[in-house]
Amino acid sequence: MKENLSLNTTLRQQQRLTPLQVKYVRMLEMNAPEIEDEVRRAVDEMPALEAKDEDAPISPESNADSAQDDQTPYYRYAVNNRSASDPYYDVVASAGDHQQTLLETLAEQIGVSDLDDRQRRIALQIIGNLDDNGYITRDLQSIALDVNMADGLDVTPAEVNEVWQKIRTFDPAGVGAVDLRDCLALQLKRMTPTEAVDDAAEIVNHYFDLFSRKQFDRLRAAADLDRERLRNAMDVIRRLNPKPGAAFASGAPGDDSARHVVPDFAVEADGDRLILTSLSRIPDLGIEKSFEADTPITPRAAREGAKMFIRTKRNEAQEFIRIIRMRQETLYRVMQAILKIQRDFFLTGDERDIRPMILKDVAALTGYDLSVISRATTDKYVATSHGIYPLKMLFNERPREDSDASSVQIQHALRDLIDAEDKSAPLSDEALTAALAARGFDIARRTVAKYRERLGLPVARLRKEMK
Tens digits of residue pLDDT in 47-64 = 988 887 655 454 454 343
In Å, how far from its chain's centre is CA 413? 25
Residue 137 contacts residue 127 (beta carbons within 8 Å)? no
Q: How many CB atoms lie within 10 A of CB 409?
A: 22
Q: How many CB atoms lie within 10 A of CB 314?
A: 21
The structure's pTM equals 0.56
Q: State the pLDDT at residue 14.
A: 61
Low pLDDT (below 70) residues in the chain? 1-4, 12-17, 53-99, 249-260, 293-304, 399-404, 466-467
Residue 317 contacts residue 325 (beta carbons within 8 Å)? no
In the three-class reduction of DSSP (H, G, I as helix; E, B as strand; rest coil), residue 431 is classed as: helix
Q: State the pLDDT at residue 84.
A: 34
CATH 1.10.10.60 fits 398-463, yes or no: yes
Residue 136, beta-bridge partner list: 130
Q: State the pLDDT at residue 320.
A: 92
Q: Spell out where 288-411 has E strands.
A: 381-384, 387-390
Q: What is the DSSP string of 116-174?
A: -HHHHHHHHHHHTTB-TTS-B-S-HHHHHHHHHHHH-----HHHHHHHHHHHTTSSSTT
Q: How far is CA 182 from CA 42, 136, 208, 210, in A?
A: 53, 11, 10, 16
Residue 203 contacts residue 197 (beta carbons within 8 Å)? no
Domains of the chain, by residue range, sit at 19-74+262-392, 102-167, 180-238, 398-463
* Cα–Cα distance, 452 to 421 (Å, whole number): 14
Q: State the pLDDT at residue 187.
A: 92
* Cα–Cα distance, 129 to 132 (Å, whole number): 10
Q: State the pLDDT at residue 293.
A: 64
Q: State the pLDDT at residue 94.
A: 37
Q: State the pLDDT at residue 41.
A: 92
